[in-house]
Structure 1
Amino acid sequence: MIEKEIALINKQLESLTAKNFDLEAWKSHTIIFLERIFGKESTKVRMIKELKYDYSSWNLRDAAGTGKDSDPVILKAREILEATKLELEHLGVPKQEEENQKIWSLLEEELTGKQIREIKLVLQSEDPDKLEKIANMLFNLEKENMSVVLAKLLIP
């Protein structure tokens, strides 16, 4: 499974060397991939979003005088993706189970044992109307309980 994620990152690394490189288009593609792998709140996604060219006169003067043969924005993008690739190779894909467990923990704090059991029974059933049944169960709960659960989900 991890091979697919690494292949996407390798593709984005290769596209950094394209002759007609477009930073904004590259960022859009990369953000889509990284959000799917690491989530929308990932620091990697934030760092890619923050990549931009600085056209101030001081920055242009400094870049012109250093004799650098590489674009500093592309170098930073490459470093972010290389670090991301290393993380995936050594630590694997972040587990979605942690988020799922957080949701269950919050539900268990706010619902009764009977309500939790009923939800789990519906989830384990082969009923094609699972979604509708669970939605109805949650809809019938006290609004205070659901508000607390939703608020806790939004706060990291």
Structure 2
Amino acid sequence: MAEKEIALLKEQITRLDEKNFDLEAWKNHTLIFLERIFGKDSSKIKMIKDLHYDYSSWSLRDTAAAGKTKDKDPVRMQADEILRATVAELESLGLPENKKEQEKVWELLQDELTGKQVKEIEALQKSEDPEKTEKIAIILEKLEKENLALIIAKLLTT
């Protein structure tokens, strides 16, 4: 399970209620944690980066027209919801699988195999064929030893 990650995010949720809350500092801490957990391309990171206070004249006018400030800071409320959803996701689904490793493997295969071989392997991978592993192995066995050794060496060094 993702106990450590959940604990970090829950700590960030509690920091939202600090009296001397600094949004930018909070965002920086949170982004570090989210990048480590979900990777740099996560939609959660974009949502946190997009959090900001609106100091436009319309926003200020609407606040003044209401006669008082809102009970709860809308930016903090949004941040709270993002992190609560993230914690719920981790509690329910666990940590995300590392897709980047698979992408690296595919890049290496595309560099070393012919287009036809790559298409055959992709089709087998997506199929429900119970013998797909053996069939992929047959395609790879047709490679020259040097090419196969090069693929394995690149996998180990990237």
Name the larger-Rg structure.
Answer: 2
Q: Does 2:58 match 1:58?
A: yes
Distance 1:100 1:116, change over 3 A: farther
Distance 1:106 1:66, change over 3 A: farther
Q: Is the 8 A contact 2:109 2:151 kept in 1?
A: no
Distance apart, 1:105 and its partner CA:
1.6
TM-score (norm 2): 0.71
- Structure 2 gap ranges (5+): 114-142
- Structure 1 gap ranges (5+): 124-129, 135-156
Distance (Å, rounded) in 1 between the aligned partners of 2:7 and 2:71: 27
Distance (Å, rounded) in 2 between the aligned partners of 1:20 and 1:42: 28
Q: Does 2:132 match 1:100?
A: no
Q: Does 2:148 match 1:116?
A: yes
Q: What amino acid does structure 1 have at the position aligned with 2:148?
A: I
Q: Match of 1:55, SS? A: coil
Aligned residue in 1 for 2:38: 38
Distance (Å, rounded) in 2 between the aligned partners of 1:83 and 1:73: 15
Q: Is the 8 A contact 2:16 2:76 kept in 1?
A: yes
State the superposition RMSD in angstroms: 2.1
Q: What amino acid does structure 1 have at the position aligned with 2:78?
A: K
Q: Does 2:72 match 1:70?
A: yes
Distance apart, 1:117 and its partner CA:
3.4
In the comparison of the two structures, how many residue pairs are matched?
Answer: 125
